[in-house]
Amino acid sequence: MKSKKLSNILTLGFALFAMFFGAGNLLLPPLIGLEVGSHYFVAMIAFGLTGILLPFTGILSVVFSGDNFNDLGHRVNKHLAAILGTIIMICIGPLIAIPRTAATTFEVGLKPFFPTLDPIWGSLIFFVITLGLAIRPSKVVDVIGNYLTPVLLILLALLIIIGIIHPTADFLPSDLTMMQSFSKGFIEGYQTLDVLASVIFAGIIISAARDKGYTDTKSKSQIVIISGLLSTTCLLFVYGGLIYLGATSGITNPEISRAELLIEISRNTLGQYGLIAIALCMAFACLTTSIALTSAVGTFFGRLTNGKVSYTVLVVLCTIISFGLSIKGVDEIINFAYPPLAFVYPITITLVIYIVLFGKTIKSKTPYIFALIASTIIAILGLLKLLGKLDESTIENLNKIPFFEYDLGWIAPSIIGFVIGLLIDRLKK
């Protein structure tokens, strides 16, 4: 019985790791290391907050609320799950995350070996495989957890361990202060999209746990939480290692792209086999995430339409849209992604954190609503700033809000909003 439980934990934990660990997770850490240099440890902590701790908190928020994101949203407002869920699914689905997985696979996994290959053909092959494996949602977790992830982890561990034992160069100097390095790591963690994905992936893992016989609330929560801890441990090792490799890469070209940097680090670390290793890593990392996200999109919108649009139709539609956008290239997709992510992240993080911290003791919806309203206002102001819609005097005034200049201005207002909502609720009673 214990061996079966351990096997289930490994399957679910590795599957969750692979769902989280996609294109951005492999490309972003080395560039962070390159930019922060000797401040790599501070940046690693910051990146770990938004790339590891908050996604795990997202898993917990769903586990504490029920079985899927709808249950989490209903803790605050019956319409929130549909509205916020739709925004999240579009971001982590066909608009940003899924196209990015295909574009990254082409640039890192195929282009170095087939420099004349048209990206259309690379994306077409990628999405044919994605569609073939995502079309049967009940098999998604087992395929990813039992077969694809172990290969991915072995290859990544090989690259990181050799890179740490035999670093290419000393730590690079950085023009960033320690606080700027922290902010860099924290904000870059947004680009992983893992906090957004966590509240969706939680439903997939919980469903898989039920299928494996964990039907009562206690055993189901326990197996999902332990599996989540396993995935976060793997992520911490990989992120820390990749940031370190970037900081000791010895590369001084500030214009180098994320894909070129990763390829160069792999070549310097593993020699002639580096390109093959990183190509396989990228293929497995992106494919597992693409499969999970495509399945999640089909499941979410199938429920949202009450089954009027079938899972199969939604998965095919998601694949076609993602295929069309993937041809733009990695850097263009990442640059395009930042404004919408900067808007939706503060709202999602606020929901997740406050539900986990206070969900069991504060049942009233009022404090959560006020906290979300405050975060949404700051998120809108932050978006306008990014889009250049605010003048200098307005930005100067907004910078008086704690951490606003570091794109973390939602923290204090959400706390104030929560307290005001709590006071209003107490006065009513």
Taking only the tens place, the pLDDT of each residue in 337-376 is: 778 878 888 888 898 889 888 888 888 888 999 999 999 9
Please return the burial class of 414, using the count of CB atoms within 10 Å of its CB with bins 0-12, 13-18 and 19+: buried
Average pLDDT over residues 76-101: 84
pLDDT greater at residue 420 or residue 111: 420
Instruction: Say how many residues make up the chain.
Output: 429
Cα 178 to Cα 35, 39, 44: the distances in Å are 12, 6, 12
**Band of pLDDT at residue 264, cut at 50, 70 and 90:** confident
Q: How many CB atoms lie within 10 A of CB 9?
A: 19
pLDDT attached to residue 2: 65
Top-confidence range, 214-218, 251-255, 282-286, 379-383: 379-383
Average pLDDT over residues 198-216: 82
**Band of pLDDT at residue 141, cut at 50, 70 and 90:** low
Residue 142 in tokens: 């087992």
Taking the C-alpha atoms of residue 91 and residue 300, their distance in angstroms, rounded to an integer, is 13
Residue 26 in tokens: 């492999």
Average pLDDT over residues 306-315: 89
The answer to whether 338 touches 380, Cβ cutoff 8 Å, is no
Would the pLDDT of 82 be above 60? yes
Taking the C-alpha atoms of residue 279 and residue 110, their distance in angstroms, rounded to an integer, is 7
Of 14-18, 22-26, 328-332, the one with minimum mean pLDDT is 22-26
Quote the crossing angle between the two packed helices 330-358 and 366-386, to the nearest 10°: 160
The answer to whether 240 touches 52, Cβ cutoff 8 Å, is no
**Band of pLDDT at residue 177, cut at 50, 70 and 90:** confident
pLDDT attached to residue 314: 92
Would the pLDDT of 41 be above 60? yes
Of 14-28, 83-97, 177-191, 316-330, the one with minimum mean pLDDT is 14-28
Taking the C-alpha atoms of residue 312 and residue 317, their distance in angstroms, rounded to an integer, is 9
Taking the C-alpha atoms of residue 338 and residue 386, their distance in angstroms, rounded to an integer, is 9
pLDDT attached to residue 344: 86
pLDDT attached to residue 148: 67
**Band of pLDDT at residue 145, cut at 50, 70 and 90:** low
Q: What torsion do the CA atoms of 94, 95, 97, 102 make, to the nearest 10 degrees?
A: 70
Q: How many CA atoms lie within 13 A of 129 on its CB side?
A: 16
pLDDT attached to residue 417: 93
Residue 287 in tokens: 């494919």
**Residue 374: left (phi > 0), alpha (psi -120 to 50), or beta?**
alpha
Tokens 């290793």 map to which residue? 277
Could you say which of 1.20.1740.10, 1.10.3720.10, 2.40.10.10, 1.10.580.10 is the CATH number of the domain covering 1-341? 1.20.1740.10
pLDDT attached to residue 185: 87
pLDDT attached to residue 323: 92
Would the pLDDT of 225 be above 80? yes
Q: For a pLDDT cut of 90, what percent of the chain falls above it?
A: 10
Q: Which residues fall within 8 angstroms of residue 226, CB to CB, at 6 or more apart?
A: 9, 13
pLDDT attached to residue 144: 64
Would the pLDDT of 320 be above 90? yes
Q: For a pLDDT cut of 70, what percent of the chain falls above it?
A: 96
Average pLDDT over residues 401-416: 85
Q: What residue type is 38 in one-letter code?
A: S
Cα 176 to Cα 2, 120, 173, 241: the distances in Å are 49, 39, 9, 21
Q: How many CB atoms lie within 10 A of CB 252?
A: 10
**Band of pLDDT at residue 315, cut at 50, 70 and 90:** very high
Would the pLDDT of 138 be above 60? no
Q: Which residues fall within 8 angstroms of residue 179, CB to CB, at 6 or more apart?
A: 406
Going by C-alpha positions, the residue among 343, 370, 346, 373 that lies closest to residue 358 is 370
Would the pLDDT of 419 be above 90? yes
- Provide the greatest CA pair distance for the chain: 70
* Extents of the domains making up the chain: 1-341, 362-428
Top-confidence range, 266-270, 303-307, 308-312, 324-328: 308-312
Task: Provide the 8-state DSSP code for 215.
Answer: -
**Band of pLDDT at residue 409, cut at 50, 70 and 90:** confident
Mean pLDDT of the chain: 84
**H or E segment at 314?**
helix 311-326
Task: Provide the 8-state DSSP code for 148.
Answer: I
pLDDT attached to residue 9: 85
Tokens 């055993």 map to which residue? 219
Q: What residue type is 90 in one-letter code?
A: I
